[in-house]
Amino acid sequence: MEETLLFKLIRKENVELNDQLRWEVKEMRDIKHPNLCLFIGACIDTDHVAILNEVCGKGSLEDILSNDDIDLGWDFRYSMLKDICRGMMYLQNTDIGSHGRLKSSNCLVDNRWTIKLSDYGLKSFKSGQEGVRVFSPENGIGVSLPRFNELDECDYYSLLWTAPEIAATGVSHLDHVGYGSRAGDMYSFAIIMVEMCTRQHPYHEVDHLGPAEIVQIVGRLIDPGKTLKLIQCRDYEKMAVDCLRPTVEEDELPNEEKQASMLMQLIELCWNEDPKCRPEFKYCLSELGKICPHRGELMDNLIELMEQYTTSLESIVAERTADIIVEKEKGDLLLSKMLPPLIAEELKLGKNPQPEYFASVTIYFSDCVGFGQICSDASPYQVVELLNDLYSIMDDIIESFDCYKVETIGDCYVVASGLPTRNGDNHAGEIASMALALMTTIDGVGYKNMPGSQVQLRMGLNTGPIVAGVVGSKMPRYCLFGDTMNTASRMESGGYALKIHMSESTYTVLESLGGYQSICRGEREVKGKGRMTTYWLTGKDNSEYRIPSEDLAISASKHNFK
């Protein structure tokens, strides 16, 4: 049967299998307790030195406390603190005697929400790792602080849980602490209790200080200055001592006043500056039992914890589902702007839309006469801003019609009607009405930052057969193909500013629909098409559409006819 293991790499090239190491491994193998992470074994192969432990599925206590999505009630927190006490009581009665590395990230949580302490024991196996500052205090007292070039080999953050008497020796890495002391573990437990209250890392309220400064102030290796808020601890002789400790706000304690008072008293007792004044874990377990008495059987409590977790999980799932729905709607909206809704739906269903032939659609082309001169006179940013303003107006107009915006290329704006959803012969009327609405809207409208100007739109319409399909897998586009597109482009490029030029095929459909006003332009030579009869669309019966005055149009000499 396969078993998943957690391995912790030890930064050593190799390990000598001596009597000391054998004794440490035997110590670890003999430890079996529900609140201690089970030691599986160790690997001493070159470049693969590691410790193997059982896996705890919920991660660490630090992970859970920092996850705002988990609603952690006080009964839940007290249960975890009691687990830590039970684990430490057992550990202190073994030959190992103390932990030395007790902190929230070493309190693992299994799938039953039981705390299991990890990273204890194996002192010599873990010592002397690469990349750790060498620590050799003279006469057993550390007085030299790390030099600047040694800071990368220190880990002061992990020492925020370390007792002041140990910090006072000048340690700069947990490897220097070894097994620590029983009183030192009690101090570490006090810091974990603070974390349970604040759900923040220790000393978060003085984040302007680095971990190195905090540890050295706690160990009285440097002066705290006058700005830090210190608390008073009583030593064994009842003398007051000013100390730096984490802050616990009143609203971070339990709501029940008696519980809050008893918990804070326990924290202050456990983090006392004088190690002799700190209690044993047996006392802490007893006090936690008074603060939050054990109610019901173990299984009842477990079921209650699981129900709390399930409720919290359901809330998280509901929130995440709502977020996903919102993001999906945003994605759908964006997709609908890039592709026709019918085509977008097919793509979302995983289908590959096939090219489709449409016997009769109407195409609209427009551009801005004189745009080249505008580009030469304006900065690129101004050109982009100008086009964005113009296209925003045009986008708003076409929303009112059964039309689909095909693409924009520079100042060229392309629209189609009659696809992908067929609408009989109404496509010509939809495009014609849209073109008239656009002309009406831009009447008297100038370019931004160009006082006295007039937007010089010229439009071309053509009706005929089209083949349409989705092209490309990355940023797919709904593209139109056929001679109808070329002719519509020729209608636009062969027209005049502030006029709507259309082919005979469009004129014929509009006449059958009725209600549209037009003037025959006569026969003219169209590039690539030969001679064609074309028309000007001038209005619609019983409507307020109007074509801007020819006096506002740019002169014919400035047109670029194609």
The domain tally of the chain equals 3
The span from the CA of 527 to the CA of 25, in Å, is 91
- pLDDT at position 238 is 74
Q: Are residues 211 and 273 in the same domain?
A: yes
| pLDDT at res. 305 | 62
CATH number at residue 285: 1.10.510.10
More confident of the two residues 327 and 81: 81
Query: 14 in a domain, yes or no?
Result: no
What value does the mean pLDDT take over residues 237-264? Answer: 90
Q: What is the DSSP string of 281-313?
A: HHHHHHHHHHHS---S-HHHHHHHHHHHHHHHH
Residue 447 belongs to domain spanning: 349-552
DSSP state of 325: H
Q: Of 283, 311, 338, which one is at a domain's C-terminal end?
A: 338
> DSSP of 217-269, one letter per residue?
HHTTSS---SSS--EEEE-TT--EEEE------GGGS-SSHHHHHHHHHHHHH
Q: Do 231 and 354 belong together in one domain?
A: no
| Burial of 404: CB neighbours in 10 Å, binned 0-12, 13-18, 19+ | buried
- 194 and 315 both lie in a single domain: no
Lowest-confidence segment of 57-71, 165-179, 302-316, 519-533 by average pLDDT? 302-316
Comparing 285 with 528, the larger pLDDT belongs to 285
Residues 260 and 323 in one domain: no
**Residue-level pLDDT at 529:** 85
- Residue 13 in any domain: the answer is no
Angle at Cα 50 formed by Cα 48 and Cα 56, nearest 5°? 135
CATH code for position 358 = 3.30.70.1230
DSSP conformation letters of 516-539 = EEEEEEEEEEETTTEEEEEEEEEE
Lookup result for tokens 């027209």: 495
Cβ-count burial 370-398 (b if 16+ within 10 Å, e if not): bbeebeeebeeebbeebbeebeeebeebb
Cα–Cα distance measured from residue 393 to residue 412, given in angstroms and rounded to the nearest whole number: 14
Which residues have CB under 8 Å from 518's CB, separation 6+?
502, 507, 510, 535, 536, 537, 538
Residues 359 and 281 in one domain: no
- 282 and 426 share one domain: no
Farthest-apart Cα atoms in the chain, separation: 114
pLDDT single digits (tens) 148-183: 778 888 899 999 999 999 999 889 988 889 889 999
Considering the domain boundaries, does residue 8 fall inside one? no
Other beta carbons within 10 angstroms of residue 19's beta carbon come to 7
Confidence of residue 137 (pLDDT cuts 50, 70, 90): low
CA nearest 504: which of 428, 433, 439? 428
Q: Are 143 and 153 in contact (CB under 8 A)?
A: no
Query: Of 278, 307, 338, which closes a domain?
Result: 338
Position with higher pLDDT, 143 vs 313 = 313
> Is 234 within a domain?
yes
Distance, in Å, from the CA atom of 61 to the CA atom of 253, rounded to the nearest integer, reads 18
Is there a contact between 442 and 461 (Cβ–Cβ < 8 Å)? no
User: 165 and 112 in one domain?
Assistant: yes
Instruction: Specify the range with the lowest mean pLDDT, choosing from 176-190, 384-398, 496-510.
Output: 384-398
Residues 287 and 301 grouped into a single domain: no
- Rounded to an integer, what distance in angstroms lies between the CA atom of residue 428 and that of residue 159? 77
Long-range CB pairs of 61-64 (<8 Å, 24+ gap) are 61/104, 61/105, 61/107, 61/108, 61/109, 61/115, 61/192, 61/195, 62/103, 62/104, 62/105, 62/107, 62/195, 62/201, 64/109
> Considering the chain, what percentage of its residues have pLDDT values greater than 90?
45
Beta bridge partners of 458: 367
Two structure tokens written together for 298: 């173990």
Within 19-176, strands assigned E span 39-43, 50-54, 107-109, 115-117
Domain check: are 158 and 112 in the same one? yes
Mean pLDDT (whole number) for 187-215: 94
CA dihedral for 10, 11, 12, 13, sign (positive or negative): positive
Q: Rounded CA gap, 281 and 26, in Å?
A: 25
CA atoms of 24 and 105, how far apart (whole Å): 23
- CA neighbor of 95 nearest in space, from 180, 33, 28, 193: 28
What is the rounded distance in angstroms from the CA atom of residue 395 to the CA atom of residue 404? 10
Query: What are the structure tokens assigned to 343, written together?
Result: 């085509």
Q: Are residues 256 and 184 in the same domain?
A: yes
Could you tell me which residues are beta bridge partners of residue 234?
A: 240
Same domain, 360 and 416: yes
Is the residue at 254 inside a domain? yes
Whether the pLDDT of residue 508 is over 70: the answer is yes
CA 77/CA 80 separation, integer angstroms: 5
Task: Cite the beta strand spans of 437-491 per DSSP E.
Answer: 457-471, 477-481
> What is the pLDDT at residue 440?
92
pLDDT in tens, 212-243: 999 999 998 888 888 888 888 876 677 888 89
In this prediction, residues 50-68 reach a mean pLDDT of: 89
**Quick check: is 306 in a domain?**
yes
What's the rounded Cα separation, in Å, for the pair 62 and 82?
A: 16
Using alpha carbons, select from 10, 188, 169 the residue that is nearest to residue 100: 188
- Give the end of a domain, one of 338, 365, 389: 338
Q: Domain for residue 258, yes or no?
A: yes
Contacts of 119 (CB under 8 A, 6+ apart): 8, 101, 106
Name the token pair of 553: 């149009």
Residue 177 domain-assigned (yes or no): yes
User: Residues 304-355: pLDDT tens digits?
Assistant: 666 666 777 777 788 888 888 888 888 777 776 677 777 777 777 777 778 8
Same-domain status, 239 and 311: no
